[in-house]
Amino acid sequence: MERTLIIIKPDAVQRGLTGEIIKRFEARGLKIIGMKLLHISRELAEKHYDVHRERPFFAGLVEYIISAPVVVMALEGSDAIAAARATIGATKPSEAAAGSIRGDFGLEIGRNLAHGSDSPENGELEVANFFSESELLSGWRRDVDRWVFE
């Protein structure tokens, strides 16, 4: 099973879309193994966005993600990275498919509602940045799993 980190960003939390976004991942069949509401510290934001450190938009990313509370979730499932990214939609909301989170609720790239890990390796790394292993409940089975997973 793959793991992915989802961040429900400040714009989504402020707009009251948290429940709708969580619902979409659960309806997709992804299992929540960790979730919390937090105000990301500057240090953690810089670590999370480190891959963009040399880009001109790095400072803006950090300022935005620390500007208000977020919800972070660790999700688990078969091909969780691809499933979560399809559920979120293209980075630029105007290019995101209808039915995706960004396609349905987004207008601008700088307010694109959610983050999802982009690879299995980054999924593990990002989950570890936001959750200790003791905060993750990976071993539990949902009754519905037999109807979701082959």
Between the alpha carbon of residue 105 and those of residues 43, 59, 62, 88, 96, the distances in Å are 29, 25, 22, 10, 10
Strands 70-77 and 31-38: antiparallel
Amino acid at 10: P
- Annotation marks residue 39 as catalytic: no
Please identify which of the residues 39, 48, 52, 115 carries the catalytic annotation. 115
CA atoms lying within 13 Å on the CB side of residue 93: 15
Other beta carbons within 10 angstroms of residue 66's beta carbon come to 18
Q: Determine the Cα–Cα distance for residues 86 and 16; give it in Å rounded to an integer.
A: 22
DSSP 149: -
Active-site residue set: 115
